[in-house]
Amino acid sequence: MTGPPQVDLLVKNAKIATANGVIEGCIAVEGGVIVSICRESAAPRADEVLDVGGRLVLPGVIDAHAHLHDEQFLHREDFSTGTLAAAAGGITTVIEMPLTTPIDRPSVIREKIGRGEALSHVDFSLHAGMMNEENLANIAEISRLGVRSFKVFTCKPYGVGDETILEIMDAACQNSALVNFHAENEGMISFTEKRLRHYGRVDPLAHHEARPGLAEEEAITRVAFMAELLGARVHISHVSGAYGVDAVERAKRRGVHITAETCPHYLHFTKLDSLRQGPYLKVNPPLRDRSDIARLWEGLAEGTIDMVTSEHAPGTREEKEVGWSDIWSAWGGLPSIETMLPLLLDHGVNGGLISLERLVRITSLNPAKAFGLYGVKGDLAPGFHADFVVVDLKLERVVSSDHLHYKVGWCPYEGLRLRGWPVLTVLRGKVIYDGESITVRKGYGRFTPMAPIKRGN
């Protein structure tokens, strides 16, 4: 009489978090893929048993917006260091976003995939960009390479006009892809910044005042109308406040195929924090007010905002320090990938602002579905990659850049005490972070292509 089939790995004594609740039991893994979720009494034999001690197991976090590797700025971050930080932060898949170097030709896409597979510690996908009238003809071939998200700006430095946006949307529709927007109204920003400069404003707060929330609302609303006209799928990057949430909510009520993200810095900092941290908090779109933070958390809880992404875009201390005397000269962006999940666990779950089920949706399920990764990534279920993170909701740590993996060596959350941290990260059935150190070499990560994205996803 034969016993149950044997598997490579059995994760036991786990509280398995899903979008529909928590299941107490085991995860059986074979060949890097989940084969069953079961009770311990029905668990198969395994070559390796991982007892997680009754801790919570979440689907591996998918960070759908991270600037990790730009060949012009490797002094800031690269695939290797950025994904070290990701793995330690419970992130098993990143979708790498262009920074300043255009990722808009098939040859460049292939080169970047090769670079990622040589250096990355976690799995990754890619966004293409920055799209304009000169490269929209490349959308079809890029899509066939498994890159089906195309970044467009409605403002400087890469802004394009409405007719070009419509042409890009139309091409994306024809190739089962989506258009991903940095949405702010350039005219409003330019006018406000010129006025502040006229009055001699070069202080850190001036940057945040130069980009009003109405500029975000207008651009999101305009993009949504264009998407409605064509039946296109669109995504809004880094929604920063109440005006943006309201615009997304209205678009969804109209039936627009739109998803949206916000980022940890918008869920924690206000523009007044720049009085203390100055240029280190310069980011686009800017920080806003305490009421905006509350509205963003509300948007996450109710489902208007679909996901949280790190928008990891570090600059060096030198590139930030110049902003104390002239904020317009400082780099806009900050490191955030390693502390994203701890902040969501502390402020969100432990703070009572979002449920555990909602956390699973905004960190894994929703980004997987939005960007054509679901079925492979995004859930703890048979047939999915065995990507998960074990977290300790009671573990308290003080954020210290000395213990983080960023190449730039600083973090805006320095000294913040957070309760709830990842203690184990597993990618395709292999432990990649054991709570103290990264346990795989660079190059373990694989490129994960996006499946065709339907308009109604």
Q: What is the pLDDT of residues 68-113, one digit of tens each?
A: 999 999 999 999 999 999 999 999 999 999 999 999 999 999 999 9
Cβ count near 99 (within 10 Å) = 19
**Segments of the chain scoring below 70 in pLDDT:** 1-4, 455-457
pLDDT for the residue 4? 54
CA dist 76 and 68 (Å) reads 9
Classify strands 7-18 and 46-51 as parallel, antiparallel or unpaired: parallel
Degrees to nearest 5, angle at CA 270 with 200 and 348: 165
The pLDDT score that the predictor gives to residue 5 is 76
pLDDT recorded at residue 457: 45
Closest by Cα among 305, 271, 264, 276 to 288: 271
Q: Helices 242-253 and 213-230 sit at what angle, rounded to 10 degrees?
A: 20
**What is the DSSP code string of 368-429?**
HHHTT-BTTBS-SSTTSB--EEEEEEEEEEE--GGGS--TT---TTTT-EEEEEEEEEEETT
CA distance 286 to 317: 19
Rounded to two decimals, what is the model's pTM?
A: 0.97
